[in-house]
């Protein structure tokens, strides 16, 4: 692992706009419905959301400068949100929450060398201490209950660390990357992608032991990026400087990002949620000319898009759907919005939620 000093201004951008990406598989069907705002009970920004079911959802956030962490939980689909925090979650900003199944989940806190772990569906949480973990972690991903990764920025260059025992120990591999790894995604236990703060994309086929540069999808002008893959070939990538005066962009690939194509219909891409090869959501960002935040849905591999009003004028940082018609997005100032179609319950059994 290499250490170095980085510009604090760029660091702030990367931390503020770290965004989650999730995938699901679908049996088919066209989604209709609307986004509705929900009362989170907090004004602190929320950076990640994980929908375990239609009723049980978790959201995390906070303020690192003020030493405030927010862990929210709903058990009624967001009709009410409650503080689910404990002593060790309330004094550090929480950057990401995810569940591998209905019981086991993880939270990435900032500024500390531990992950937060649950094995009972979020009823209780425990700290997973490890002095080897960097204290500038910004995200995690687990593909099984045992194998997962974390990445860090700040003083840590090229940092992607792996665990093979559920977070009890971590393996530090010299990735050869010389910039911050601001986003990464593993398709399975071996194949994964990582992107640095200049939009350069790297690939591994051995679980992160070795990395190969494959593309500059951000064209050198991106400070925070996010991407997701449906499989080893089909994927999408959102990038941009995340200023109100800069339109972020969406690119797609059908060959594992050996080549990529700009999606011209979406100018404000923040978070991507893949339903299957044809159906996907893109969560947008505030538009300068309108007092709302857009989201987009496509049923034809991103060829055409239906635009939705996301029921908020605020930035949305992350989104997660538990099935085709029940999803949540979270963002600045405690924003939570829910997508719901009341006649869709019968279709939910066709969906598999993971990661």
Give the lowest-confidence range in 25-34, 77-86, 157-166, 334-343: 25-34
- Higher-scoring residue by pLDDT: 77, 340: 77
Cα gap 286→133, rounded to integer Å = 35
Return the pLDDT at 24: 36
Most confident of 11-15, 72-76, 204-208: 72-76
> What average pLDDT does the segment 269-293 reach?
76
Q: State in words which class domain 2-354 has.
A: mainly beta
Most confident of 105-109, 169-173, 307-311: 105-109
pLDDT for residue 146 is more than 60? yes
Return the pLDDT at 8: 38
C-alpha distances out from residue 304 to 165, 199, 251, Å: 43, 25, 14
Token output for 101:
């199944």
* pLDDT over 90 percentage in the chain: 41
pLDDT for residue 321 is more than 80? yes
Taking CB atoms within 8 Å and a gap of at least 24, the contacts of 114-121 are: 115/140, 115/150, 115/167, 116/88, 116/89, 117/166, 117/167, 121/52, 121/56
Reported pTM: 0.85
The mean predicted confidence, pLDDT, of the chain is 80
Return the pLDDT at 229: 84
Most confident of 18-32, 141-155, 338-352: 141-155
> What average pLDDT does the segment 60-72 reach?
95
Give the lowest-confidence range in 63-72, 244-253, 334-343: 244-253
pLDDT for residue 244 is more than 70? no
C-alpha distances out from residue 147 to 34, 134, 167, 243, 319, Å: 36, 18, 8, 35, 23
pLDDT for residue 2 is more than 70? no
pLDDT for residue 218 is more than 90? no
Sketch the domain layout of the chain as residue ranges. 2-354
Return the pLDDT at 287: 64
Give the lowest-confidence range in 167-171, 184-188, 271-275: 271-275
pLDDT range class, residue 28, cuts 50, 70, 90: very low
């Amino acid at each position: 692992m290499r250490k170095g000093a980085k510009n604090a201004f760029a660091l702030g951008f990367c931390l503020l706009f770290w965004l989650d990406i999730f995938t699901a598989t679908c049996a088919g069907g066209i989604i209709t419905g609307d986004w509705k705002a929900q009362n989170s009970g907090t004004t602190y920004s929320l950076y990640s959301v994980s929908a375990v079911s239609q009723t049980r959802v978790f959201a995390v956030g906070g303020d690192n400068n003020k030493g405030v962490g927010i862990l929210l939980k709903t058990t009624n689909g967001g009709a009410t949100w409650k503080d689910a925090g404990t002593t060790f979650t309330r004094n550090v900003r929480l950057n990401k929450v995810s569940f591998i199944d209905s019981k086991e989940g993880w939270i990435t806190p900032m500024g500390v060398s531990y992950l937060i772990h649950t094995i009972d569906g979020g009823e209780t949480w425990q700290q997973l201490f490890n002095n080897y973990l960097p204290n500038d972690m910004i995200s995690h991903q687990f593909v099984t209950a045992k194998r997962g990764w974390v990445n860090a920025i700040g003083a840590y260059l090229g940092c992607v660390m792996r665990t093979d025992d559920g977070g009890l120990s971590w393996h530090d591999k010299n990735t050869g990357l010389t910039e911050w790894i601001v986003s990464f995604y593993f398709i399975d236990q071996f194949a994964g992608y990582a992107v640095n703060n200049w939009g350069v994309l790297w690939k591994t086929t051995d679980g992160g032991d070795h990395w190969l540069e494959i593309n500059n999808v951000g064209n050198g002008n991106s400070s925070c990026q996010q991407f997701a893959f449906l499989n080893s070939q089909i994927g999408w990538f959102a990038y941009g400087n995340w200023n109100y005066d800069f339109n972020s962009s969406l690119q797609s690939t059908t060959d594992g990002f050996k080549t990529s194509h700009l999606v011209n219909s979406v100018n404000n891409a923040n978070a991507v949620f893949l339903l299957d090869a044809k159906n996907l959501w893109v969560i947008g960002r505030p538009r300068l000319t309108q007092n709302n935040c857009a989201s987009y849905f496509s049923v034809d591999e991103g060829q055409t898009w239906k635009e939705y009003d996301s029921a908020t004028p605020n930035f949305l940082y992350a989104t997660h759907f538990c099935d085709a018609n029940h999803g949540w997005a979270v963002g600045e100032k405690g924003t939570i919005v829910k997508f719901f179609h009341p006649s869709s319950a019968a279709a939910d059994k066709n969906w598999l939620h993971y990661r």
